[in-house]
Structure 1
Amino acid sequence: MSEDNRITIKDIAKETGLSIATVSRILSGKGQHNGDTVKRVLNVAEQLGYVKNTAAVDLVKRQSHVIAVIVSNTKSNFSSSIITAIENQAAANDLDVFILYADNNDSSSQSRAIRTVIERAVKGIILVSLELNEHVKSILADTTIPSIFLSTAVKDQSFPYVTSDNYQMGYKATEFLIKKGHRSIGLIGIPQHGSISDRIRGYEQCLHDYQIPFNDKHIQIGDCLYEDGSNALTKFENKLPITAAICASDVVAIGMMNSVKDAGYKVPDDLSLISFDGTELVDYVRPAITSVTQSFYNMGIEGVNYLLNDATIKMKYLPFKIIERQSTQKLI
C-alpha cells in the first residue's frame, strides 16, 4: 500500500497485473478495453477502497455536479473575484461548488484538503493561488479527477494552469516607475519562492535594461500581507531610501501607505506606490492606488470552462494592465 495508506492507481495495477497506464485509462473512461478487464479493475478499485470506497464507475462517468475549489488561506482579498466567477459560471451550468482552504506554506494542510476532495465524487478540482510541493502534487496526480491551477504557474507544467505572467508584471511595474523618473525603487512583500517570485526577476531585469544599479536592500521579502507593508518603513530604519515602491498586493500597499503617513511622509509626494492585483481595495483608500490589475474574474471563468470542456490546455497567461491612480507621480 502507498504511503499515508492511500490506495493509488499503482496499487490497483499491482493487484490486477495490468500496467499503470491501462488502469489509468480505464478509470478515466478512455480508450477501448475488454469488458472483463474493465470489470476487474473497477472491482479491485472498490475492494481496495480506492478514493475511500467511492464508486469508481461514478468517477469514470463524471456524473457528479460538484466542483471542488481549494483556496490559499493567505489574508488577501484577490481570490474573491476568482471565487465569484467560479460560482457564477458553475451556477450557469447547473453545477454546485464547495470550497476548502489550505495553508500555502503547509504541505500537511494542503494534502488534507486534497484528500478531503478526492474522497468524494467531484467533477473536478480548481486550486486557487496554491504552490504545492512534489509530495502533495503526487497525491493530486494519483487521482483520475481533472484539476487546474488558477493564479499560479506550475513550473514543470505537470498540471494545467491559468494565471498572469509574473515576470512581465514585475518588469512592467518597474518600467512604469522608471518612466516617471524614479531610480530608487523598492519591491515590498514579495514571496521568495513559488511562481510569484518571478516578479523579482522581472524587476531586476528591468533595472538592468535601463542601466539602473540593483540594490538588494531595496527588496523586502514577505507573504503579500498587510503586515509586510505596515512594517516596511521600520525595516528601512524609518527612513525612505527609495522614491517609489512596488507592493506585492493591494493590502501590502495599504499597509505601507498607512505606515508612511504615520511616519510623517506623504504618498505620492514623498513616496509613489504601485500594487499588484488591482482589486476594489485600491479605490477604497485615498490616495487611490495605482495598480497592475489582473484578470481575476476571467481566471475563474477559464477554470470552470476547462473542467466543463475537458480542454487540453497546459498553460495560459491572461492579460493585465497598469491603471494609474493617485498614488504615483512623476519626479520633477
Structure 2
Amino acid sequence: MGVVMKPTIKDIAARSGVSIATVSRVLSQKTGTYSEKTQAKILRIAKELGYRKNTAAVELVKKRSAVIAVILNATPTNFSTGVIDGIQKRASELGQGVIILYAGNRDAQMLHKAIVTALERTVSGILLTAIEPDDADLTLLKDSGIPFCFVSLYLNQPKILSVSSNNESITSQAVDYLVEQGHTAIALAGIDGYHTGTQRIAGYEAGLKAHGITTSCIKYGDYSYESGRKLLQEFLPLKVTAIITASDMIAAGILNAAQEVGIRVPEDLSLVSIDGTIICNITTPDLTSVTQDFYRIGSRSVDQVMGHDVETFVPVKIEKRGSVKQLER
C-alpha cells in the first residue's frame, strides 16, 4: 500500500482557485482581507480534503517556543556541515533549540511541505539554507509573521533577510587572482542558472571585462562531482589554461577526470575552486580556492533571524594551494 500524503494548504488553494496566502489567512482566522463567501469555500474544501492544522501552533501563535527551524536543501556539495555547526553553536548561545527539516534537492513539493511544517510550529524563526522558494511559498513565508532568513543565498529583494557570501565578488576575485598568475584563457565550470549561479556569472564576466579579456567560457552543471567529471570532456577542445569551478565537488571531478586522460594539474590546467571545504585539502594536488566562511554564515544567520543587526555579506578569501600554475607573461 502506498503512503497517503497529508493535504496541505497548497492543495486547498489549488482546489479553491485562490492564493496560498488567502488560504493561510483564512485558516489562521486573520479577518478583514477576504469575503465570508471565500472563507466558507476554503473551510469546506479543507474539510473535504481532510486537512488538519496544528492546533497547538494556533493556540500558541503569540507565544513562540525557543526553537529555530532550519530548512535544508540537499545540494550535491558538502558546504552545509559548516553552516549547520555555526547555526547550532550560535542558537545555543542565544538559548534557542534547532530543528532541521529536509527539503530534498530542488523538490518543490518537499520544500513546500517543510515550510508548512515549520509554520505550523511555534518557532522563533526559520532559516532556509541554499533554498529558492517559488513565489507562492515566498508569499506564504511573508504572510506568516514568523521571521525568516535565507542562508548562503542572496535574493536581492527588499526586506528579505539573507546572510551569504557575495557571489559576484567570489568569481571576480578568482579572475583577479588567475590574471595575476598570468592566465587570460579562463573558464567557469559547473554553474547553474539560479540566483547564486547568475550572480557568479555576473562577477566572472565583470572580472574578465575589468582586465580587458573579451572571451568568456561558461559550462553549466549542478555543483556535483559527477558533473565535474563530465564537464572535462567539454573543455578538452578548448584552449583554456584555467578553470574556476562552481564548487569543490566540481573541482574534484574535473581533477580526477583530467588525471585519467593524462592532463596534469597545474602543469597543463589550473583550477580555482569555490567553497574551500575539506575537499580542497585531500586531493592531489590540493586545490586553490575562494574560501567561504560557512560557519560564520550560519552563525550570523541566527543573529539575523533573531533581530540582530549583522552584515548580509560575509567576506571570502583566496587560499593558495597547489592547483594553479604561474604562467610566464
Bin for the TM-score computed over the shorter chain: 0.7 to 0.9
Partner of 1:254: 252
CA distance in 2, matches of 1:121, 1:324: 45
8 A Cα contact 1:188 1:220, kept in partner: yes
Give deviations 1:202-245, integer Å, cap 9, x for gaps. Answer: 11111112111224xx2111111112211112223x44521000
Cα 1:131–1:65 shift into 2, 3 Å: same
Partner of 2:202: 201
Q: Which of 54, 64, 71 is residue 56 of structure 2 equivalent to?
A: 54
CA distance in 1, matches of 2:9, 2:178: 52
Partner of 1:242: 240
Give deviations 1:228-264, integer Å, cap 9, x for gaps. Answer: 211112223x445210000001111111100111110
Partner of 2:295: 297
1:272 aligns with 2:276: no
Shift of 1:104: 4.5
Shift of 1:2: 6.8
Shift of 1:171: 0.9
Q: Which of 307, 311, 326 is residue 308 of structure 2 equivalent to?
A: 311
Partner of 2:39: none
User: SS at the partner of 2:76?
Assistant: coil
CA distance in 2, matches of 1:244, 1:291: 13
8 A Cα contact 2:9 2:24, kept in partner: no
Partner of 1:44: none
User: SS at the partner of 1:138?
Assistant: helix
8 A Cα contact 1:66 1:124, kept in partner: yes
1:282 aligns with 2:284: no
Partner of 1:226: 225
Q: Which of 294, 305, 320 is residue 316 of structure 2 equivalent to?
A: 320
Shift of 1:312: 6.0
User: SS at the partner of 2:182?
Assistant: coil
Partner of 1:45: none
Partner of 1:32: none
User: SS at the partner of 1:89?
Assistant: helix
Cα 1:207–1:242 shift into 2, 3 Å: same
User: SS at the partner of 1:317?
Assistant: coil
Which deviates the most, 107-116 or 241-250? 107-116
Q: Which amino acid aligns with 1:324?
A: K
CA distance in 1, matches of 2:241, 2:289: 17
Give deviations 1:260-287, integer Å, cap 9, x for gaps. Answer: 1111011000011001111121111121
Partner of 1:181: 182
CA distance in 1, matches of 2:70, 2:91: 11
Shift of 1:132: 1.6
Q: Which amino acid aligns with 2:138?
A: K
Cα 1:250–1:3 shift into 2, 3 Å: closer
8 A Cα contact 2:127 2:149, kept in partner: yes
Shift of 1:168: 1.1
Gaps of 5+ in 2: 1-7, 13-19, 35-46
Q: Which amino acid aligns with 1:159?
A: I
CA distance in 2, matches of 1:110, 1:164: 23
Aligned pair count reads 299
Please list every run of at least 4 consecutive aligned residues from structure 1 whose deviation after the TM superposition is greater than 4 angstroms.
6-9, 48-51
User: SS at the partner of 1:127?
Assistant: strand
Shift of 1:17: 4.8
Partner of 1:43: none
8 A Cα contact 1:69 1:98, kept in partner: yes
Matches within 5 A, 1:62-81: 62=64, 64-81=65-82
Partner of 1:211: 212
Partner of 1:10: 25
Partner of 1:116: 117
User: SS at the partner of 2:81?
Assistant: helix
8 A Cα contact 2:172 2:204, kept in partner: yes
Shift of 1:19: 5.8
8 A Cα contact 1:155 1:195, kept in partner: no
Gaps of 5+ in 1: 21-47
8 A Cα contact 1:189 1:220, kept in partner: yes
> TM-score, length-normalised on structure 2?
0.83
8 A Cα contact 1:111 1:139, kept in partner: no
Shift of 1:164: 0.8
Give deviations 1:155-204, integer Å, cap 9, x for gaps. Answer: 32342001011111111111111111111111000112223321111111
Q: Which amino acid aligns with 1:191?
A: D
Partner of 1:148: 149
Q: Which amino acid aligns with 1:320?
A: V
Shift of 1:301: 0.9
8 A Cα contact 2:161 2:305, kept in partner: no
Shift of 1:148: 0.8
User: SS at the partner of 2:163?
Assistant: strand
CA distance in 2, matches of 1:156, 1:104: 23
Q: Which amino acid aligns with 1:71?
A: L
> TM-score, length-normalised on structure 1?
0.82
CA distance in 2, matches of 1:178, 1:128: 33
Partner of 1:82: 83
Cα 1:155–1:242 shift into 2, 3 Å: same
